[in-house]
Each structure stands twice: as structure tokens, then as C-alpha cells.
């Protein structure tokens, strides 16, 4: 199988498609932005006019859209992929979603004789482009048999977390709990430094060589130092993802005090008009500081 489909050429999806092409696959792509699809086709991919067009040409279709609603549109909306996919082919779902939704989707596609992999991803655009991202997956052995090599072509780490959908999405939202809390904490620390008159570049240098460092501090605070909030991952992504975290915990009455606070911080930033800015813009909720740039 050398034909593979990928829907959603955003920050992560484009890198995934490039990794697949480097691995020798004929990559058929669709994105609502026609220019993104054409650009990828000019570089050696195959442009498709709809998700159904992708589905009819490929035995594995990978979806790298934003959320569950967009995934349902890809599958079952006008020109959706599900009805066009050959029986026994595989749909690989890479979005961050409610684990219960993912489990239900596996059953819904099974009724159409389609296989499903719950396969959310992490690592950012640079790691997606280099094939070094992480995938947290779960699904039936038959789905892995058809799509496992594709996962390995896109990711340095492919974790197989169970033989049914759900565990992949559970682990992903736990990862997002930590990611969101770490970004919020990094912004709070940098904001305090600015309020106290510490040179932000010096603070960044010290923290990144000290025990208080985190991957998110080291990755996101340069955006603050440059005053560049071009979205690589937006504030509203963490409004959504931390909301999923809290919904999952609420179902079993499990307390998440840090995640709750971080969620409120991102909500505040979004309400202030920063929802489409980079998630480092959560620092803008702090009063009385002069931000770089």
C-alpha cells in the first residue's frame, strides 16, 4: 500500500504529509484552504477536491483537523470520506477529542466495515515536519496491521496503548493537562519577573539553566521575548483541550485544581480578545507589566 490520504494541512498535518512523502508514499491531501493543497501538490503530493476524493483513492486516511466537530465533518459531511472509503480501510484520527467520543466513533465506523485508530499526536510543528513527533494510539490489531508502518513514518515514538479506541485520547488529554498548566505557570513566572523589573532575557537564561525550567517555558517564552504571538498553537486550543480534561475528570468527580486554574487563565485571555493568538499570549492577562516588543 503506497497510497495514503491526509486531511488537514495545518501546523501539524503539513509536516505529517511531508514525512509520509519522504518515506516514499503517494500522499493524497485535502484542506479547506485550496492554496495549501495546491502548494503541497506542487511539491510532489496529490491534490484532492474533497474528503471523499481522498477516501476513494486510499486505504488509509489520516485526519489532522482541529477537533471532533471537524472530524465528523470530514467523515460524514457533504463530500465526506466515510462513504467513499473501501470496506476494510482505516481512518486514523489524530485530533485531541473526548475519549468517549473516540470510542463511539470506532463503533460507528465499524458498522460501515471501516477500521479506526485513535491516534492523537504531540510535539509541535517542527517535530511533525521532521518525523520526530509522538503519537498516542489505541485500536484494533487489524487497524495496526494496515496502518502501523504509516505511523512509524510520521513519528519517532508510537505508543500502542490498547486494542480498542479510547486510551490514546485519554493519554493525550493528560498530556494536555500538563502542557496547559506548564504554559500558564511559565507565563505567570515571566510576568512576575517583568513586574519586579528583572530583565526578561536574563530571566529566561537563568530559568532555562535551572531547576525551574520546563519544556514549555523554554519553547514558549521566546515568543514573549520577541513580542511575536503568531499562533503556532493558539490560546483557544487550550480553552478547548483543558475543557476536555475537566469534562473527563468531572464525570468521575475527580478534582483537578491546577488544570481548573489554568483553564480559567486561558478563558480570560480568550475573552480579552487573544483567543487566536499564540498560547503564550496568556501572559497578557497579567496587569501592570510592560511586555517586550
Question: Any bridge partners for residue 128, and if so which?
Answer: none
Nearest CA to 281 out of 242, 229, 215 is that of 229
Active site residues: 172
Handedness of CA 168, 171, 173, 178 (dihedral sign): negative
Q: Which residues of 192-223 are buried (b: 16+ CB within 10 A; e: fewer)?
A: ebbeeeeebeebbeebeeeeeebebbebbbeb
SS3 77: coil
Which cell numbers hold the place of 98? 473526548
Give Cα 241 to chain centroid, integer Å. Answer: 10
122 within 8 A of 172, measured Cβ to Cβ:
yes
Amino acid at each position: 500500500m503506497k497510497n495514503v490520504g491526509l486531511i488537514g494541512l495545518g501546523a501539524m498535518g503539513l509536516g505529517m504529509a511531508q514525512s509520509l512523502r519522504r518515506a516514499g508514499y503517494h500522499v493524497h491531501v485535502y484542506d479547506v484552504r485550496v492554496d495549501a493543497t495546491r502548494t503541497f501538490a506542487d511539491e510532489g503530493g496529490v491534490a484532492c477536491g474533497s474528503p471523499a476524493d481522498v477516501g476513494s483513492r486510499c486505504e488509509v486516511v489520516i485526519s489532522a483537523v482541529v477537533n471532533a466537530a471537524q472530524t465528523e465533518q470530514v467523515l460524514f459531511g457533504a463530500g465526506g470520506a466515510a462513504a467513499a472509503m473501501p470496506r476494510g480501510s482505516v481512518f486514523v484520527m489524530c485530533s485531541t477529542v473526548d475519549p468517549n467520543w473516540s470510542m463511539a466513533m470506532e463503533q460507528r465506523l465499524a458498522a460501515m466495515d471501516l477500521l479506526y485508530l485513535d491516534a492523537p499526536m504531540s510535539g509541535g510543528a517542527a517535530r511533525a515536519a521532521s518525523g520526530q513527533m509522538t503519537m498516542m494510539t489505541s485500536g484494533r490489531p487489524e487497524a495496526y496491521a494496515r496502518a502501523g508502518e504509516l505511523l512509524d513514518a510520521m513519528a519517532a515514538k508510537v505508543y500502542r496503548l490498547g486494542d480498542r479506541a479510547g486510551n490514546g485520547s485519554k493519554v493525550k488529554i493528560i498530556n494536555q493537562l500538563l502542557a496547559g498548566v506548564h504554559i500558564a505557570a511559565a507565563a505567570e513566572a515571566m510576568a512576575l519577573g517583568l513586574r519586579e523589573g528583572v530583565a526578561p532575557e536574563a530571566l529566561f537564561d537563568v530559568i532555562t539553566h535551572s531547576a525551574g525550567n520546563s519544556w514549555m517555558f523554554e519553547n514558549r517564552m521566546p515568543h514573549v521575548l520577541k513580542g511575536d504571538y503568531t499562533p503556532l498553537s493558539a490560546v483557544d486550543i487550550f480553552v478547548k483541550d483543558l475543557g476536555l480534561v475537566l469534562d473527563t475528570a468531572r464525570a468521575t468527580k475527580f478534582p483537578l485544581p491546577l488544570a481548573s486554574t489554568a483553564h480559567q487563565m486561558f478563558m480570560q485571555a480568550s475573552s480579552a480578545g487573544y483567543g487566536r493568538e499564540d498560547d503564550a499570549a496568556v501572559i497578557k492577562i497579567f496587569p501592570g507589566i510592560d511586555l517586550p516588543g
